[in-house]
Amino acid sequence: MKIKSVCAVYFSPAGSTKSVAERIAGTVAAALEVPFRSIDFTLPSARTEKYRFPSDELVVFGTPTYAGRIPNKALPFVQELFEGEGTPAVSIVTYGNRNFDSSLTELVEEMGKNGFAVFAAAAWACRHVFSPKIAPGRPDEADLSKIDTFAKECAARICAGDAGSFKAPVIRGGEPVAPYYVPKGVDGQPAKFLKAKPLTDAAKCTNCGICAKVCPMGSVSFEDYSVVTGVCIKCQACVVKCPEGAKYFDDAAFLSHVQMLEQNFTRRSEPECFFGE
Ligand SMILES: Cc1cc2nc3c(=O)[nH]c(=O)nc-3n(C[C@H](O)[C@H](O)[C@H](O)COP(=O)(O)O)c2cc1C
Ligand code: SF4
Ligand code: SF4
């Protein structure tokens, strides 16, 4: 099949999903000797239009894993904004070294419903945005090497096949999408931090406005950067992108969950790749 371009499409508040999706798309594009572009739908400004992809473009579509699924606030965008025309596609998720649970299965299913011919999928362990102690530095050199091997296999399959004949990959033996993972605290009980919002250390804040610009929910007030006016999805974009380290969470249930993750999920979780056979 002749592919004319490759497009990386992603929701990536803290940047890991962007780096993995663009690495895969760039490597496939280089192997196919075609141009590559990106559509980043993390911010509200990128979600005002719908995107259609022709059958001669290859789409690499990525989201992080939140509570074992596609982030629930990003799911409507995945479902409503992107449409293929039998467009060959690769689904990828990132996750923070605990588990990707059902997120990849869900993404493959949703893309299939939207006219994409998904023929490959993969889940990549990345640093956990909740803690610098969980999977620090990932994706690392070993991950990048696996990412490139996966991307080259995608390119080879594109050259050999026809999107109409692609079969969707079966993820982990075909387990159905499970309910959202319930975060636990150090005591093993559910940690309820749905209403938690970031605080601002006024002594460190320089009023640069970056936190308001990077919030995917548009929830940090542009009038007062210490105020969160709307929904907070705990994505940590404002925390990790604040140049002064002024944003933080002090919610006890949230911090207990982070501690539980640090105690139990420091082992190295390896990426998993799947191809439709
Ligand atoms: C609200 C929330 C829930 C998360 N849930 C999970 C999870 O269930 N399993 C896991 O391994 N990582 C989980 N993570 C970690 C992210 O999946 C991981 O850090 C991801 O790479 C972040 O992507 P980004 O850098 O593109 O924003 C969660 C992160 C957030 C913010
Ligand atoms: S990014 Fe940090 S320093 Fe800049 S306004 Fe926000 S909290 Fe203040
Ligand atoms: S306020 Fe909440 S949703 Fe917005 S960037 Fe910060 S953590 Fe993410």
pLDDT digits (tens, 9 = 90+) for 232-256: 999 999 999 999 999 999 999 999 9
Strand 51-53 with 82-84, pairing: parallel
Q: Helix, strand, or coil here: 46?
A: helix
Residues with CB under 6 A from ligand 1: 12-17, 64-68, 94-99, 126, 128-129, 181, 234-236
Residues with CB under 6 A from ligand 2: 200, 205-211, 225, 242, 244, 246-247
Instruction: Output the pLDDT for position 1.
Output: 66
- Supply the residue whose CA is at minimum distance from atom 2 of ligand 2: 242
Give the H or E element holding residue 86: none
Distance 268 CA to ligand 3 centre (A): 27
User: Cα dihedral sign for 68, 110, 83, 153?
Assistant: positive
How far apart are alpha carbons 88 and 59 in whole angstroms? 6
Q: Which of 189, 182, 185, 191 is nearest to 260 (CA)?
A: 185
Instruction: Output the pLDDT for position 75.
Output: 98
Q: Which ligand is nearest to the CA of 21?
A: 1
Distance 228 CA to ligand 2 centre (A): 13
Instruction: Output the pLDDT for position 165.
Output: 85
Contacts of 131 (CB under 8 A, 6+ apart): 258, 261, 262
pLDDT by 10-residue block (mean), the chain, 277 residues: 94 98 98 97 97 97 98 98 97 98 98 97 98 97 98 95 87 96 98 97 98 98 97 98 98 98 97 95
The answer, as to whether pTM is greater than 0.85, is yes
Contacts of 36 (CB under 8 A, 6+ apart): 5, 6, 7, 8, 25, 26, 28, 29
The domains of the chain, with CATH numbers, are 5-179+271-275 (3.40.50.360), 199-250 (3.30.70.20)
Give the H or E element holding residue 104: helix 103-113
Is the CB of residue 237 below 6 angstroms from any atom belonging to ligand 3?
A: yes
Instruction: Output the pLDDT for position 266.
Output: 93
Nearest atom within ligand 2 for CA of residue 207: 5
